Amino acid sequence: MTPLYKCAEVLDLRADEIVKVVGDETGLLEPRLRAELERTTGQLRMLSDYAATPWRRTSPGITTVPVAVGPVAVFAASNFPLAFGVLGGDTGSAVAAGCPVVVKAHPAQPKTAELLGAVGAAALPEFELVYGGADKSLELVRDPRIRAVGFTGSLAGGRALMDAAAARPDPIPVYAEMGSLNPVFVLPSYDGDVSALAASVTNSSGQLCTKPNLVVTPSEEFAVSLAEAVATGKTHRMLTPAMAAAHAAWLEQASGLGRVYAGDSDPRPFALVAHEFDPSFLEEHFGPSVVIYVGDSIPAWDGSLTATILAADDDHDSVRDLLPALMNRAGRIIFNGVPTGVAVVDAMHHGGPWPATSAPWSTSVGPASVERFRRPVALQGFPEELVPGYR
């Protein structure tokens, strides 16, 4: 049994304990956490299988083979404490690449980190868990032994790690997933149900990196229907008091920018329906909220993990016109669906242009995520029996 398979097996066996500890510490609900744990163990096995597949490119006289980059620093994310946490995709892909891993626990989730760290220390060959705040994060990135970084979090946090990595005598790559607008464009003939889109805004109290922050529609009727559905969404405690305070502050600010439809649960889910565009609409707002702009177009928006098109058959010509612009600004484009619920499959690309990520050509989900942590080496003129991995 490979280390990643062993790790997945232990996580499965201790599922009840893990779900309780993580739920108590984060406020995330049991069904969400059980689904996330299943995703986590599945991706660990997938990454292990991918690493076991021989990887070579051969031309006459030249064979290219992969080499692990060396120790990787991974920063556990708060909003996906399992799938992007201590034993999440960044850790799994680094281990699959053959790299030692040092994981920095998220300060808001020490009990979760301790529990998962014990599993990692027992199952993985070269694994270390460290704790601390911003100073420890920078210290870790500056450590000359670290050769790459995996991070999921805020734009400010990712940029600080990138700056520290670039200032080293020997700069190293930082694969950072950061802020994302995830806009949704509703075309004129679309008359579909709004329930899935509303749930995409409020599920997990709006604390998903692919949550839609902005919906653009020409239809007042659609805007109101969606806003009312968002306001009735169920929410639960947010991950940290600071996140909850930021959401409340955004609700207060939004009240002066248009008509707000808000629910009564805590934190309050709300939708802002606006007819005049404000620059704040192009910002990511963590929490169960969405801006619904009634209009035909918006100003240029920054790179995003996703963009979504909702369209009817009569809109296909408009889709063809819109698609190139979206492909220039997003890493994944959804047609008549919602951006939340990232599938862990071979074809998935979870990335996007700055500031969604620091490396838009890479993905942090799926087997291709392994390639962030190994580099190709071309061996020229070697007899085949001297090439590593020769069978």
Which amino acid, 331? G
Amino acid occupying residue 27: G
- For the annotated catalytic residues, the residue numbers are 177, 209
Quick one: three-class SS letters along the chain?
A: CCHHHHHHHHHHHCHHHHHHHHHHHHCCCHHHHHHHHHHHHHHHHHHHHHHHCCCCEEECCEEEEEEECCCEEEECCCCCCCCCCCCCHHHHHHHHCCCCEEEECCCCCHHHHHHHHHHHHHHCCCEEEECCCHHHHHHHHHCCCCCEEEEECCHHHHHHHHHHHHCCCCCCCEEEECCCCCCEEECCCCCCCCHHHHHHHHHHHHCCCCCCCEEEECCHHHHHHHHHHHHCCCCCCCCCHHHHHHHHHHHHHHCCCCEEEECCCCCCCEEEEECCCCHHHHCCCCCCEEEEEECCCCCCCCCEEEEEEECCHHHHHHHHHHHHHHHCCEEEEEECCCCCCCCCCCCCCCCCCCCCECCCCCCCCCHHHHHHHEEEEEEECCCHHHCCCCC
Nearest-angstrom CA–CA distance, 170 and 193: 53
CA 25 → CA 18, 110, 203, 229, 363, distances in Å?
A: 11, 9, 18, 29, 28
Q: What angle do CA 213, 219, 221 make, to 5 degrees?
A: 95
